[in-house]
Structure 1
Amino acid sequence: MNLRLDSVLRDTVSAVQANALAPLYALPAAVRRRLAGAPIQIDGNTLDPDIQLLLRIDNLLPDTTKTDAATARAHFRQLCKLIPGTPAEVQRVTELTVRGADGQLGARLYVPRGAGAGLGSNAGDVPGEVGRGLLVFFHGGGWVVGDLETHDAVCRSIAADAGIRVLSVDYRLAPEAPAPTAAEDAIAAFTWAVDHAEDLGVDPALVAVGGDSAGGNLAAVVAQQTVRRDLPHPALQVLLYPAVDLVARRPSRDLFSEGFILTEADIIWYRDHYTPDPTLRPDPIVSPLRAEDLTGLPPTYLTTAGFDPLRDEGREYAAALAAAGNALTHTHHPTLPHGHTNLLTVPGTTRQAHTHLTNHLKSALH
């Protein structure tokens, strides 16, 4: 690399450390590709060059080895501040509380433009733009990190682009609240949303559940447990590169163990914090892939990513859902890594993945 590109890279790292990713992707595409380096190809897939550049920048930032939960949470919040860019426009965001398994949980309701003025009002909706659906969303972060703020940009974008309401739930985190606390909170929060659908301005028959990574795990558990416990069922489950098996190890864990956002060390650290009792890990309440009966579940939108250590378990769960006779849309993004839902600032295939998701939500929940 020549001295000019070295200088650009140093300046870009400084911008990232100053909480601004915009300068990185304001560079011409040809410059970004040169900064990213030689293409990375693994298992027949080529990493998106703009993602590759982001990962290279991340490798130049100070070491972020996880020590304790509080430090990891602070670091994750800081990282998420670098990514969002300009927040998507929604009509309003309302802070509220929802029912958890043991008391109240914080939550945020995102209402798209075109909805009415009151919390649950649909007066003034623009026909064809705002639906009566709701996505109850659980953030990722290994059941240990993440909160309403880290996924604020994600929820705003889903609400704005899908034209549906999004209810983001601040479930309790490990290690203070180990498994199955988060799962039980998620089940309680989803059933609360159905019970209060009219207040939220939605149709109780159009309440979906979803999440990314660990949040996808919780969404899958909600879908299974509401059916098994004879509770209201989700209209749709949205599983974005979900963690669905805390027991077995698959080839993608070795292929992408380092350098692609979620590492093997991260997976073990999160697992051990969420399930300090190893005997709980085979239970479907934490490993939904291990459920003996997958029949009768709601329609599923499941995504996997080509450079994700969780890729293979996500594929396996998709196959198991289809084999059990459930309606399934499995979307594979071969050029993307784990966590790409939080990378909407990055141009190219991350935006395409987001558009595919929101188009599906429009179709299913309007």
Structure 2
Amino acid sequence: MSIPFPVRIQAAVVRAAYALPQGLRRAFAGKAEVRDGQTLALDAQVILKFQRMSKATMVMPGGVGPSRDEMEYARHLVGGRTIASVAVRDVGIPQEQGELAARLYTPGGVGKGSGLLVYVHGGGWVVGSLESHDHVARFLAERGRVRVLSVGYRLAPEHAFPAGLEDVQAALDYAFAKAVDLGADPERIAIGGDSAGGNLAAVTVQQAVRRGGPVPVFQLLLYPVTDLSTKRDSHRHFAETYFLTSDNMDWFADRYAPEPLDRTDPRISPLLAEDLAGLPPTYLSTAGFDPLRDEGEAYAQALREAGVDVYLSRQSDLIHGYANYIGVGHRFAEATAEAAEALRKAVGA
């Protein structure tokens, strides 16, 4: 798909800003921001300055449609150049509701019998798509040396809970059943996701353990949503200003799990599951300037207390959604590369 000319111009402006000497970037971004004992990365301040100038937000005033358009638009600005060494093909996953769209990413030089990551994109269960996270999937495939099966699950509010969860469960079942056809080793299947995708991935793993079927050998959770039943201190510290706001999360939650759904249900809030024993080794990252920070770290602690091997990584100087910004600056890619390295060590070539 060709990129519209105005978008190419704006992307060039963003890249040019990040190419400036550090002093000029600091002058553009403004005084260093410190909150809750953390200093925001200059790379993050620059992208926030652009977002404030353009008045872009995670939720557009026009509602669902414009919000989805905004996320698709943003990937052209901050996703970076396409990693062409990763081969891509569309995959249809059969299920009761009709064929589920997915996309298989295979990095160059990775042969048959590789590890496979079932990847679930973020976007508050409402926005995001295979396209919006194409650059993230390519990055994880290339750096992690694994195949990546990215899942195009149904979105709210047209398809509220549990539709998206059912789709991710179907995708995981498909990955195990068709691993050889996908070029993967069924003993080296991982699952992961970012934000709301991390929520769906975490719940899917819990459900897999409870069902007694095959369970992924690793989970990769980037700044996941883990508890919609309450708000912790990070919601207060970062309620606004840092792209994802506390009000944004309320808007997403109201569309994904509207009343009278019980948000203490562990299928919505995986942190509240009674038993977390038996879950696979986990890499879980949080962003310091993120309303979701504290609930993500609470989930890591709960996993540890249940005997799960967890590596918790707080990217204290970054904002929510940092994996989507890997095409600008260096700090976003650096943080995402850490996650990819954990994936490589767990199931990669």
Q: Separation in 2 of the partners of 1:115 and 1:343?
A: 26
CA-to-aligned-CA distance 1:8-33 (integer Å, 9 cap, x gap): xxxxxx98873432122121222111
Letter of the structure 2 residue corresponding to residue 356 of structure 1: E
Superposition pairs for residues 1-366 of structure 1, below 5 Å? 18-20=10-12, 21-62=14-55, 64=57, 65-100=60-95, 102-115=97-110, 122=112, 132-366=114-348
Cα deviation for residue 253 of structure 1 reads 0.3
Preserved CA contact (<8 Å) 1:112 1:165:
yes
Preserved CA contact (<8 Å) 1:100 1:189:
no
Equivalent position of 1:4 in the other structure: none
CA-to-aligned-CA distance 1:108-132 (integer Å, 9 cap, x gap): 100001145xxxxx3xxxxxxxx71
Preserved CA contact (<8 Å) 1:22 1:85:
no
Q: Separation in 2 of the partners of 1:346 and 1:91?
A: 20
Q: Separation in 2 of the partners of 1:157 and 1:16?
A: 21
Which deviates the most, 191-200 or 55-64?
55-64
- Structure 1 unaligned spans of 5+: 1-13, 117-121, 123-130
Q: Separation in 2 of the partners of 1:152 and 1:305?
A: 21
Q: Separation in 2 of the partners of 1:292 and 1:100?
A: 29
Cα deviation for residue 68 of structure 1 reads 2.2
**If the length of structure 1 is used for normalisation, what is the TM-score?**
0.89
Preserved CA contact (<8 Å) 1:101 1:185:
no
CA-to-aligned-CA distance 1:51-86 (integer Å, 9 cap, x gap): 101101110104553332112111111112211121
Q: Separation in 2 of the partners of 1:239 and 1:63?
A: 26
Q: Separation in 2 of the partners of 1:101 and 1:154?
A: 29
Letter of the structure 1 residue corresponding to residue 197 of structure 2: G
CA 1:278/1:260 → structure 2, altered by over 3 Å: closer, same or farther? farther
Preserved CA contact (<8 Å) 2:79 2:328:
no
CA 1:100/1:70 → structure 2, altered by over 3 Å: closer, same or farther? farther
- Structure 2 unaligned spans of 5+: 1-5
Preserved CA contact (<8 Å) 1:97 1:105:
yes
**If the length of structure 2 is used for normalisation, what is the TM-score?**
0.94
Q: Which has the higher contact order (CA 8 A, sep 6+)?
A: 2
Which structure has the larger Rg over C-alpha atoms? 1
SS at 2:312 equivalent: strand
Q: Separation in 2 of the partners of 1:246 and 1:99?
A: 30
